[in-house]
Amino acid sequence: MSAAAINPRATGLKPSTPSSPMPTMDSQRGDAALSRGSASESGKLGMRRILILGGTTEARALGERLAKRGGLDVTLSLAGRTASPVVHAVPVRVGGFGGAAGLADYLVKQRFDALLDATHPYANTISENAVAAARRTGVPFMTLHRPPWVAVAGDRWIEVSDAGAAVRAIGEQPRGVFVALGRNELAPFAGAPQHRYLIRSVDPVDPPLPLPQVAYVTARGPFSAADDRALMVAHAIDVVVAKNSGGGAAYGKIAAARGLGVEVILLRRPPPPAAPAVETVEDAIAWLDHVLTSAAARGV
């Protein structure tokens, strides 16, 4: 979506009444904590406050771009699912909000001027909560979601609804399976012990799955196609199981599978919430510039 297509009213969402029904839980969990001691939850006098819901390469890049600007007080929120998150250029808040109502309360109490949802395309609960919180508070809101990968000549893709369906799609005959999913989605594979598994995750899988043939790789992307090809050849991989995350950081395994003629089973993306959205960091910044410029013109 280009900047020219953005609604001049900035949010594209109308505030709802406090009585509107809203979810009570989100995908961010645990008590919140603000890292990097220079940050203040109450903001800095006279600065525009921006909240980024992060956990993606785009969120990190957005923080880096905004950190170089004056007059902005930016906070990036992480769910806390990763034990050792990457270093960010802006202060980081870790933990949950308590659902849409909790996020709305946080936006109001901390006087945020804009909310950007740059979470993972599969983190639908927090995205839905962000939409609900923006409607409730009237805080200008935009979603930054990268587009999904699109199959090209040579790709052998099967789309399934979830990890359980992926296990069924692998079949009964023993195969070498490269699983690139989050730790919380691995349990169904324990029900198919006939396969040989290679499981890659950002954090160690603990406890390990009760499988007779499984190897673990703990690594953080980006992963090159050459490295993923070598990994797949070394482990005699016949099928890859992954999410259609989009972007370049995790595309190496898709390109490697194509070159090797390996089948790919992709977990289908959940439908995004009905809300204004852009696909690039540049368009997100263009939207934010418009929001802040419009607010300044109104004397807000």
Give all strands of the β-sheet with 141-144 in edge-to-edge order.
33-34, 92-94, 72-78, 48-53, 114-117, 141-144, 277-278
Q: Does domain 3-147+271-298 have CATH number 3.40.50.20?
A: yes
- Domain 157-267, CATH: 3.40.50
Q: What is the pLDDT of residue 34?
A: 42
Crossing angle of helices 124-137 and 99-109, rounded to 10°: 50
Cβ neighbours of residue 243 under 8 Å, at least 6 residues apart?
121, 122, 180, 181, 266, 267, 269
Rg value, the chain, Cα: 21
Domain with CATH 3.40.50.20 in the chain: 3-147+271-298
Cβ neighbours of residue 271 under 8 Å, at least 6 residues apart?
124
Q: Specify whether the CB–CB gap between 198 and 217 falls below 8 A.
A: yes
Decide: helix, strand or coil at residue 134: helix
Q: Name the DSSP class of 172.
A: S
Q: Specify whether the CB–CB gap between 230 and 206 falls below 8 A.
A: no
The two three-digit tokens of residue 39, written as one number: 């940050």
Q: What is the pLDDT of residue 221?
A: 82
Residue 81's nearest CA partner among 221, 222, 183 is: 183
Digit-by-digit pLDDT tens for the chain (300 residues) are 333 333 333 344 433 333 333 333 333 333 344 433 333 444 455 689 999 999 899 999 999 999 998 889 999 999 866 666 777 889 999 988 999 999 999 999 999 999 999 999 999 999 999 999 999 999 999 999 899 999 999 999 999 999 999 999 999 999 999 999 988 899 999 999 999 999 999 889 999 999 999 999 999 888 999 999 999 999 999 999 999 999 888 999 999 999 999 999 999 999 989 999 999 999 999 999 999 887 666 655
Task: Give CA angle at 271 (266, 273), nearest 5°.
Answer: 145
Q: What is the pLDDT of residue 216?
A: 96
Round to whole Å and give the CA distance between 250 and 265: 15
